[in-house]
Amino acid sequence: MPGVPLCTLRTYQPTPTTVRFTVSTRAAPEQFVGRLAHYLLLAGRLVLASIIVLILWMKWQNVFQYSSHLPFALAQSGPGYGMKWIAERVQAQYLVPIALLFLWLIVQRGYKGRGFR
């Protein structure tokens, strides 16, 4: 299945004294429920990252005195009000590092890989 990570062992530069390899500890989901959970988690991470980027964009507009416009359907929704409230109330010196930290956490893998030398 494309896009689903597999459990792999990659060996690089094999020599009699040193072997460098990476082990992935996450097996590919084989059942429908596992695949569904994988893709739902991926979609949730994309939505959350998009919300964070929109909040940062709104803050950018507020800092430089532009009008903060969101698409009408989003601006009139609960999440739209929440994003606008966060962008207006939280100072940029706190919002930007926290948003970047959350973005960094979102792009992290959901499993561990270890490299050995």
Overall number of domains in the chain = 1
In whole angstroms, give the CA distance from residue 67 to residue 74: 16
**23 vs 84, residue with greater confidence:** 84
Q: Establish if 111 belongs to a structural domain.
A: yes
The answer to whether residue 99 sits within a structural domain is yes
pLDDT at 47: 93
Residue-wise pLDDT tens digits, 54-95: 888 888 877 777 665 666 666 677 778 888 888 888 898 999
Residue 46 inside a domain? The answer is yes
Q: Which domain holds residue 33?
A: 9-116
- ∠75-81-84 over CA atoms, to 5°? 90
Has residue 38 been placed in a domain?
yes
pLDDT at 20 > cutoff 80:
no
Q: What are 35-53's pLDDT values in tens digits?
A: 888 889 889 999 999 999 9
What is the reported pLDDT for 103?
A: 93
